[in-house]
Structure 1
Amino acid sequence: MTAASPLPSAFPLPSATPAELGLDPAKLDLLCARIEADIAAGHHPGAQVALARHGKLALFRSFGAARAGVAASDASLWLLYSNTKVITAAGLWALAEDGLLRLTDPIAQHLPGFEAGGKGAITFIELLTHQAGFPGAEIPPAAWEDAAKLRELVCALTLQWEPGSRVRYHPSAAHWVAAAVIRAVTGEDHRAYLRRRIIAPLGLDAELFVGVPVEMQARTADMHDVDGAVRMPEGTAAFLAAGVPGGGGYGTARAMAAFYQALLQGGALAGRRIISPRMMAYAVRNYTGDRVDEYNGMPMHRGLGPHLRGTTPAMRGLGAIAHPGTFGHGGVGSSYCWGDPESGLSFAFLSNTRQTEEFHGPRMDTLSTLAHAAVIS
């Protein structure tokens, strides 16, 4: 297999050995061995993993194949799926911090027309915590590059239940609403805004994309179904470019580990600040308590973008032994990224198969638990 091109620029996190960062190398070896075993067993062709702690990178490894005939490399870009939601949410945090909106505001205050169909009282908090009331809504590809059409469609969304009355994961449409708000408030496309305000200031603009430029698309890994077929429209030029705000970002594992390092460090990375510590503390509160998320069948302890471990017996993706304040998000069947504020550890695992939840849930619990167990000092 050929390998993808090398990384084009320096990275904001310096590297250190696991031992230098108080991590048990043996546990990280077990973590990597599990990834290798899953690839050998045919669960996915390739993957990438990264761990960082206290502003330094402890582990960054690529495994298997990114696409047919192309070995996974450190430059490979992996579909983040819903990990993208936290990046988009950070854009709303920044709008609030810059005084352009309040997260307690009704969305319609900043996106006139959104009030249609009984949506006038929905706040940004309800939107980001999956309480907005339209979990089944979708935005078609025809609106991806048409700002006027997107605004028309999100304003016409219809409610399935009263906003705030239930918690149910909104896979797609909620973050298209966020994209429409970003354009309405700033005049910028959400892709340009997120790059300017969140991604580039952290020094991650060569490895993290919401909307992959044409010249970077050859670095992307294919996404597969369980049967091995390449998924569509994922991987098409239109999908790569669209920057679907709830599920279309691409990045490296170390970029996502670094992004979560910034969130753990109160909104700054290597001296570059995007969000204040107070805004970060506000974003990672538990807004839904122990209410069950009907989509996941368990309490998800929703923050304003990420979800939290909490203290319920079961938790998706973050690791059973995680500190209750650990926060993060997953990508359907393929990935999880998180940060632990107690240990300072951030973690990112990205793969290129959309696996069943029956496989993905236990797999992520094992990998995340190994990462937490590696913290020994």
Structure 2
Amino acid sequence: MSTTTDTVEPATVGLDADALGRLDAAIQNDIDAGQNFGASIIVARGGQIAHRKTFGTVAPDRPAAREDRYLLMSMTKSFVAALTLKAIDEGRFQLDTRVDDLVPGFGVNGKQRATVRHLLTHTAGLPFALVPPGLPIDKVGDLAAKTQVINGLQAEYIPGTRSVYTSAVGYDLLGQALVNTDPARRGFRQIMQEDLFDPLGMNDTSIGIDPDDSRRVPASATETNSTPMTPLLINACNTLFTGDAEFPAGNAFSTIDDVYRFTQLYRGRGATDGFRALSPALFDYADRNHTGALTNDGWIFETEPRGMDPFPAHFSLLGGYVRGEGHVFTPAGVTASPTAFAAVGGGSTSFLIDYERDLTYIFLSAGFFTGLPHLERVSRLNDLALATVN
């Protein structure tokens, strides 16, 4: 692979050193305020990394390092979306293919109309759920068992009429669809490894990871951001996301350099360094707001108590958000270009690609900053990264 992770001087690619310093200071301020423990970032422009930095610690007495392997949480969805679109380019199914045609048994209880496009855009009628109701927690990494439980769920709305962020259940079904339509009859982890990670040179990325991997960043939360549910969430991430676990919606582990390699695939409209995963035609169609004026109803339980306007869904087909138009809350950042794409993972990770400015910004952190506050942090830091462009 020729994708370089070396660093150039910021000025050579039109980035302002003082503004980069302000971005660094904001991240350090969050750490000092007890919002998270540590972080690793990359700022790149024109396909060249101009700034990288590590902050704080990722575990007790363990400073953050470039080689750390972070749990990406829902940033994993972009990996799954990329291979779902690749399968469409290959003619295995279409965006409007019914989910039941790919995952037999799904089309019951009001979910009959749900399509691949609905799963990609969180509009398939499924609930916001970290674990499907009825699935034992120790089966969270068992894709076949999870699929069976999801198939039996009752639709919470008519597919296509609302957008409710499905933390886990929707993209897990896309993972099962990839397995069910794979000509080589491979498992999900093998498909991801051979069809995406290996071609991109993402040698430190995997679905699941050995719990005693010395570079694994353990799930954690600061005292400031702990809730009654935090211990359960952290324990699940640290004990269930093993090397055998298949959780397409959120258990990829990766280094910041490998995440950068993936972002260059999207920056290249589906191709990078001789590897083409998606056609430019399909990528351009995917990088749009596919939820129209729908709001992101998965967060109503947080926006309403705080008196916030519901924020627009603005889901693309790429496993994340597009900036879109208007002065609205968006994880991409208020100042991002309308076509800018943002992926967000749980309470800890994100990346932004602003195509008009040719800017890529990646943020991986240790210490969950969960819920809507993490999306607000992502938006704030993305705006500071965008402010580095001269």
TM-score (norm 1): 0.90
Match of 1:52 among 30, 33, 44: 44
Q: Which residue of 1 aligns with 2:296?
A: 293
Query: Contact (CA 8 Å) 2:123, 2:159: kept in 1 or not?
Result: yes
Q: Which residue of 1 aligns with 2:171?
A: 175
- Give the deviation of 1:143 after TM superposition: 3.7
Given the superposition, is the C-alpha separation of residues 122 and 94 from structure 1 closer, same or farther in structure 2, using an over 3 Å criterion? Answer: same
Q: What's the RMSD between the two structures over aligned residues?
A: 2.3
Amino acid at match of 2:294: R
Inter-partner Cα distance in structure 1 for 2:33 and 2:151 = 46
Inter-partner Cα distance in structure 2 for 1:51 and 1:112 = 43
Inter-partner Cα distance in structure 1 for 2:376 and 2:24 = 16
Amino acid at match of 1:257: Y
Query: Contact (CA 8 Å) 2:143, 2:172: kept in 1 or not?
Result: no
C-alpha distance after superposition, 1:25-72 (max 9, x if no partner): 211111112212222222211111112222222222211111122211
Amino acid at match of 1:252: T
C-alpha distance after superposition, 1:279-321 (max 9, x if no partner): 2112212111222111232102111122111113123321111
Inter-partner Cα distance in structure 2 for 1:241 and 1:347 = 30
The answer to whether structure 1 residue 302 and structure 2 residue 299 are counterparts is no
Q: Which moved more, 1:135-144 or 1:192-201?
A: 135-144
The answer to whether structure 1 residue 210 and structure 2 residue 212 are counterparts is no
* 2:298 counterpart SS class: coil
Structure 2 gap segments, 5+ residues each: 300-309
Inter-partner Cα distance in structure 2 for 1:359 and 1:152 = 33
* 1:44 counterpart SS class: coil
* 2:327 counterpart SS class: coil
Inter-partner Cα distance in structure 2 for 1:134 and 1:359 = 24
Inter-partner Cα distance in structure 1 for 2:82 and 2:148 = 24
- Give the deviation of 1:366 after TM superposition: 2.6
Query: Contact (CA 8 Å) 1:60, 1:254: kept in 2 or not?
Result: no
Inter-partner Cα distance in structure 1 for 2:91 and 2:345 = 31
Inter-partner Cα distance in structure 2 for 1:251 and 1:362 = 23
Q: Which residue of 1 aligns with 2:269?
A: 266
Q: Which residue of 2 aligns with 1:6?
A: none
Q: Which moved more, 1:360-369 or 1:274-283?
A: 360-369
The answer to whether structure 1 residue 166 and structure 2 residue 162 are counterparts is yes
The answer to whether structure 1 residue 368 and structure 2 residue 371 are counterparts is no
- Give the deviation of 1:269 after TM superposition: 2.2
Inter-partner Cα distance in structure 2 for 1:268 and 1:85 = 18
* 2:42 counterpart SS class: strand
Inter-partner Cα distance in structure 1 for 2:143 and 2:33 = 44
- Give the deviation of 1:82 after TM superposition: 1.2
TM-score (norm 2): 0.87
Given the superposition, is the C-alpha separation of residues 11 and 284 from structure 1 closer, same or farther in structure 2, using an over 3 Å criterion? Answer: closer
The answer to whether structure 1 residue 99 and structure 2 residue 72 are counterparts is no
- Give the deviation of 1:268 after TM superposition: 1.9
Match of 2:326 among 312, 318, 329: 312
The answer to whether structure 1 residue 347 and structure 2 residue 361 are counterparts is yes
Q: How is 1:32-71 mapped onto 2 (pairs within 5 angstroms)?
A: 32-71=24-63
Given the superposition, is the C-alpha separation of residues 43 and 176 from structure 1 closer, same or farther in structure 2, using an over 3 Å criterion? Answer: same
Amino acid at match of 2:34: G
The answer to whether structure 1 residue 81 and structure 2 residue 95 are counterparts is no
Q: Which moved more, 1:342-351 or 1:11-20?
A: 11-20
Q: Which residue of 1 aligns with 2:219?
A: 223
Given the superposition, is the C-alpha separation of residues 151 and 294 from structure 1 closer, same or farther in structure 2, using an over 3 Å criterion? Answer: closer
What is the aligned-residue identity percentage?
Answer: 28
- Number of residues of Structure 1 aligned to a counterpart in Structure 2: 366
* 2:88 counterpart SS class: helix
Q: Which residue of 1 aligns with 2:181?
A: 185
Inter-partner Cα distance in structure 2 for 1:358 and 1:85 = 18
Inter-partner Cα distance in structure 2 for 1:12 and 1:242 = 31
- Give the deviation of 1:275 after TM superposition: 1.7
* 2:342 counterpart SS class: strand
Query: Contact (CA 8 Å) 1:195, 1:205: kept in 2 or not?
Result: no
Given the superposition, is the C-alpha separation of residues 282 and 212 from structure 1 closer, same or farther in structure 2, using an over 3 Å criterion? Answer: farther
C-alpha distance after superposition, 1:328-353 (max 9, x if no partner): 22122322212111111111111122
Q: Which residue of 2 aligns with 1:201?
A: 199
Amino acid at match of 2:338: P
Inter-partner Cα distance in structure 1 for 2:326 and 2:91 = 36
- Give the deviation of 1:241 after TM superposition: 4.2
Query: Contact (CA 8 Å) 2:353, 2:359: kept in 1 or not?
Result: yes
Query: Contact (CA 8 Å) 1:264, 1:339: kept in 2 or not?
Result: yes
* 2:236 counterpart SS class: coil
Query: Contact (CA 8 Å) 1:143, 1:149: kept in 2 or not?
Result: yes
Query: Contact (CA 8 Å) 2:347, 2:370: kept in 1 or not?
Result: yes
